[in-house]
Amino acid sequence: MLIIRKIISVIAFIATCVTASNIVCEAPLQTTCIAIEIEKIESINETIEIVGSENGAQYYPAVTGFYAISKDLDMQYIPSNIFKIMPNLEYFYAYEVNLKQLPTDSFKRCSKLHQISLAKNSIETLGQGFAIGCSNAYLLDLSYNQITELTAASFKGLTSLTTLTINFNFIEVIGKGTFDTMPVLTLISMSMNKISTVHPNAFMKLSNLGSLVLNDNRIKVIKSGWFANKNFLATVNLQSNEISAIEPNFLTEWTSSNLNTTKSFNYELNLMGNNCIKTNMKEISDKTTKYYENSLYKCFEEYENNYFFKNFP
């Protein structure tokens, strides 16, 4: 019951932040939540002394939520000992506070952290193992930043992560093994980037992947390896890319993997807005696979004629 109340509390708080200009914790400062708002808080220094607050922060063992949400707060970096001062943090939100970097070990002693949201900042690079201690985190949101490159080393330690959202960045390549350190991922959302190349084995080890969202990128070729060894892959959004060629057996590989799990599985594939797609395809199922194969004939032909013998990952 306590867990349910916490979830409802977090959802209600997030909704309040979106709709209201003032950030208000549900409980008083030092009880369960610290909210940073520019009208009350001037800055956060290296020792987590909150300058301008009525009570200078020294040690907050009861705090489970840290929320910094302000266009005027120049946070720039995450203070190195924040999890020493607040050892029981479960939710960490730093939204639009001008974060510029996530160096190695940005998060230390964060074993109780569940959700990390660093959206709408100015982050360009992810340090190796920036969240190395966050073994229980299940959500990471890095949307609306300036990230150009992803590596497996950056995500090291996030072994329980199920949701990864990196929309609206500048990523161009998804390489081999990028997500291998996050084996239980169920959702990857990387829409509105500049992705043109996806390694055929980029998602190979993600057997639990259920949704892959890569719309509005620059992907040119679909490789069947993306869909291999998936037990639950139900939704793939590749709308508005530059796809002109598709490896012919990608449908067979995808549907057969899912059919091994359940006979009544529904699939959704969105390929609208691509070069070789004339049919407005929104859904695919085991009953209509043949229809889609016929519709994609030109894509298959393009792949076999122009990409089969080329090293085009």
For the stretch 139-159, pLDDT in tens is 999 999 999 999 999 999 999
pLDDT at 15: 34
**What's 210's domain CATH number?**
3.80.10.10
Q: Which amino acid is at 245?
A: A
- Indicate the pLDDT class of residue 12, thresholds 50, 70 and 90: very low
pLDDT for 46: 45
Output the pLDDT for position 13: 37
pLDDT digits (tens, 9 = 90+) for 279-288: 777 777 777 7
Res. 257 pLDDT band, cuts 50 70 90: low
pLDDT of 66 reads: 82
Answer whether residue 292 is part of any domain. Answer: yes
Question: What digits encode the pLDDT tens for the residues 168-219?
Answer: 999 999 999 999 999 999 999 999 999 999 998 999 999 999 999 999 999 9
71 located within any domain: yes
Predicted TM-score (pTM) of the model is 0.83
| Residue 311 within a domain | no
Our count of domains for the chain comes to 1
Q: Which two tokens stand for residue 204?
A: 């190979």
Residue that wins the pLDDT comparison between 238 and 69: 238
Q: Is 12 part of any domain? A: no
Instruction: Assess if residue 133 is contained within a domain.
Output: yes
pLDDT at residue number 84: 80
Domain-embedded: residue 301: yes
pLDDT > 50? residue 275 = yes
What is the percentage of the chain residues whose pLDDT exceeds 90? 41
Residue 7 lies in a domain: no
Burial 71-82 (b: 16+ CB within 10 A, else e): eebebeebbeeb
**Residue 289 near residue 251 (C-beta atoms within 8 A):** yes
**E-assigned strands of 43-196?**
43-44, 50-51, 65-69, 91-95, 115-117, 139-141, 163-165, 173-174, 187-189
- Return the DSSP state at 152: G
- Ranked by mean pLDDT, which of 145-154, 229-238, 293-302 comes out on top? 145-154
Q: Which is it for the CA torsion 126, 151, 190, 267, positive or negative?
A: negative
Domain with 87, as residue range(s), is 31-306
Tokens of 14: 């997030």
45 phi and psi angles, rounded to 5 deg: -100, -175
Q: Hey, is 15 helix, strand or coil?
A: helix
Does 298 reside within a domain? yes
